Amino acid sequence: MNAFGSGRAHFSGIGGVAMVGGARLALELGWEVRGSDGPLYPPASDMVRALGVPVAEGYAEENLDWNPDVVVIGNALSRGNPEVEAALARRARFTSLPEWLRENLLRHRRPIVVTGTHGKTTTTAMTTWILRQAGVNPGWLIGGQPLGIDHPAAAGTTGGPFVIEGDEYDTAFFDKRAKFLHYLPEVAIVTSVEFDHGDIYRDLDEIDTAFQRLLRLIPRNGLLILCADTRAIQLREHAYSPVITYGFSPVSDWRLETASPAPDGTQAWFVNRGDRAEVTLRGLPPGKHNALNALAAIIAAERFGVSPQVAADALATFPGVRRRMECFLTYRNVLFIDDFAHHPTAIVATLDAARGRWMGRRIHAVFEPRSNTTVTRRFAGELERALALADTVWLGPVYRAERLRPEVRLDPHELADGLRRRGIPARAFDEVPALADALWQAVEPGDIVLIMSNGAFGGLYDLLRQRAAEIGR
């Protein structure tokens, strides 16, 4: 087994977006690949099928009987999983996806690590888009489904840039370090630093420590890119490399200024670098957060020879990312929008963007408490304040509520009560079909239904499509 092929790798938990991408990278590098996972559904099933590799449905010890050189274990797997137990009992070589990437790919590339509490996927996709449009031929691994890019991962060329989404979540059941600590950054983008992942981190101080450790890995000839509008700016004092800041803040090295709305709902943003007018960003999706993501991507691309104006022109054709303000259903002038927002700050940004794009239209915020932090009471107050920006609020049941003690678990009914005290019509539901029925009856032509979840929301999307199809017949 070597870095560029001749190896045999079994991907346990291959259905995750990052694991699918990792398996694709292994194939590009000449590895023989097989995998396994539980029952898969679109889009994960489609992504796995596109690999064209043998994939077992269900975890079983015999899935390792083909004697792979290494078992790549996804971070969703834990002790008790049959393949985890088999790998341990057989003294098999096993590793995490981040470590496999480090040893077999990233050592031979120039990694651009995009991290932060918010905006990672979009910024990673934007950076990749710019470099590809400019003819740089990057590699990439994106933790979502970029539109206009056939697949979420590509190896790129030896010695070339590799854009990778790096999150602070843990690496594997046997490695509780943040994933991004494996990625050998030449360039690191930190969009924001907030508390999240309450199942991994006790408090914000622990998250700060993880990001500070990342900074120690950037070489002195590397580059750290920090958003000056967020808590990320505090990392500057811990940097060993040059730092470039960006944002709306007047202290930013690259500063966003006034926005000019376009009839199609996009916006143009004017960017100054120092006292010089540098570039105009056109055609971006609405929302200040998208402008910030775009500016970070432009700064990173300049490191690899792409001028700011060329980068800005490329972003004018950027098609976006699945589940980021994505319209999945239009029915009688009601737009049903899917968004990945699951943190209070992201909810605020998403609702603000929706207000900017659909001014004067009633916005229904439909939220699923699903992340490991929002299923608890930790963010109850922040969620109430964030969701109060909508015209009406619809709350789904807590995802896998049985895992949590009642005193720890978020109570959507209490959250709805708090919103009603603020004057916001709000309802909480214990069953998703009941939510779908009530929502469908409540919407009127011209309304915007903004569904926010980092998962499947109990089949809500299909239920709404089904109702539209039934009435349309």
Contacts of 253 by beta carbon, 8 Å cutoff, 6+ apart: 228, 244, 245, 246, 273, 274
CATH architecture of 105-315: 3-Layer(aba) Sandwich (3.40)
- Enter the pTM of the model: 0.81
23 touches 15 (CB < 8 A): no
Tell me the mean pLDDT in the region 140-144.
88
- Residue 326's region, left for phi above 0, alpha for psi from -120 to 50, else beta, is beta
Q: Are 63 and 3 in contact (CB under 8 A)?
A: no
Q: Do domains 105-315 and 326-472 have the same CATH topology?
A: no
Structure tokens at 256: 């966003």
pLDDT tens by residue, 35-54: 999 887 666 778 888 889 99
Tokens 């393949």 label which residue? 83
Q: Which residue has the higher pLDDT, 276 or 428?
A: 428
Kindly report, residue by residue over 149-195, the tens digit of the pLDDT.
878 899 999 999 999 999 887 899 999 998 999 999 999 999 988 76
**Closest residue by Cα to residue 446 from 328, 331, 326, 333:** 333
| CA dist., res. 57 & res. 77, Å (int) | 15
Q: Are 384 and 349 in contact (CB under 8 A)?
A: no
CB 451, CB 370: distance < 8 Å? no
Side-chain-facing half-sphere of 411: CA atoms under 13 Å: 8
The residue type at 5: G
Q: Model confidence at 261, in pLDDT bands (50, 70, 90)?
A: low
DSSP H or E run through 312: helix 308-315
Q: Is the pLDDT of residue 3 over 80?
A: no
pLDDT of residue 47: 81
pLDDT tier, 129 (very low <50, low <70, confident <90, very high otherwise) = very high
The CATH number assigned to the domain with range 326-472 reads 3.90.190.20
Stretch 218-242: mean pLDDT? 94
First-last CA distance in the chain:
58
Where do the structural domains in the chain lie, given as residue ranges? 8-96, 105-315, 326-472
Question: What is the phi-psi region of residue 222: left when phi exceeds 0, alpha when psi lies from -120 to 50, beta otherwise?
Answer: beta
- Residue 226 or 268, more confident: 226
What is the reported pLDDT for 57?
A: 92
Among residues 177, 20, 174, 151, which one has the least CA distance to residue 87? 174
392, 424 in Cβ contact below 8 A?
yes
**Average pLDDT score over residue span 350-358:** 85
Percent of the chain's residues with pLDDT above 70: 92
Indicate whether 2 pLDDT > 60: no
**CA-based nearest residue to 75, from 18, 154, 35, 142:** 18
Q: What is the pLDDT of residues 340-351, one digit of tens each?
A: 887 888 888 889
CATH fold, domain 8-96, is Rossmann fold (3.40.50)
Tell me: the pLDDT tens digits for 92-111?
A: 999 999 999 999 999 999 99
Looking at the chain, the whole-number percentage of residues with pLDDT higher than 90 is: 58
Apex 335 CA angle, 331 and 338, nearest 5:
120
Q: Which residues, 6 or more positions from 111, have their beta carbon under 8 angstroms from its beta carbon?
A: 161, 162, 163, 164, 183, 184, 185, 186, 187
Question: Which pLDDT value is given to residue 437?
Answer: 94
Query: How many CB atoms within 10 Å of residue 54?
Result: 13
Structure tokens given for 265:
């709902």
| Distance (Å) of CA 285 to CA 236, 328, 330, 371, 438 | 29, 16, 19, 25, 30
Strands 161-165 and 267-273: unpaired
